[in-house]
Amino acid sequence: WPILSRHHICLRRGWRKPRGGQLVVIDTPEGHVHVANWHLGLIGGERTWQVTRLLTHPLFLESETLPTLVVGDSNDWRNRLASGPFAEHGFLPVTAPPSHFRTFPATLPTLSLDKAFQRGVFVREARVVRTPLAHRASDHLPLVVDFHLHEHHLR
């Protein structure tokens, strides 16, 4: 499907490892959807700052009226982002409860680091891929989120 807009937002804080968020608006057969992807930092305060920076950034806010998914490696092993900055901005966790979405390390997943959050999206299913290839392909297992932009498509 055509990508209508794309942006990169710097999520680096101070001297820490470079981090960023990628934003796209996609023209799907059901309408436009806003998707953000990222890899957040390792320190709790840094992650909260990164989420807040992304969700309040003017480039993110350009598409705030669209159905939105935010996905990626959150490094949020304590699961604090869902009830913090995401809840404050009207996002709901897709990958809950965390015990059903353990993705790291791929060889023996014990932590739910890869997460998805939605606002205005109707999720049919979210799951972790646990195939032999997925276990070899990365140190994280992949997430799949099957969603629609309109509730009547779920039937």
pLDDT 10s digits, 27-65: 999 999 999 999 999 999 999 999 999 999 999 999 999
In the chain the first and final C-alpha atoms are separated, in Å, by 23
Q: Quick check: 148 and 124 in contact, CB under 8 A?
A: yes
Query: Which alpha helices (H) appear in 23-131, and where do they start and end?
Result: 44-56, 58-61, 87-88
- 11 contacts 40 by C-beta, under 8 angstroms: yes
DSSP state of 97: S
Tell me how far apart the 2 most distant CA atoms of the chain are, in Å: 49
Given the structure tokens 């309040």, which residue do they identify? 56
Q: What is the torsion angle, in degrees rounded to the nearest 10, for the CA atoms of residue 112, residue 37, residue 8 and residue 32?
A: -160
Query: What are the tens digits of pLDDT across the range 80-137?
Result: 999 999 999 999 999 999 999 999 999 999 999 999 999 999 999 999 999 999 999 9
Q: Are 74 and 58 in contact (CB under 8 A)?
A: no
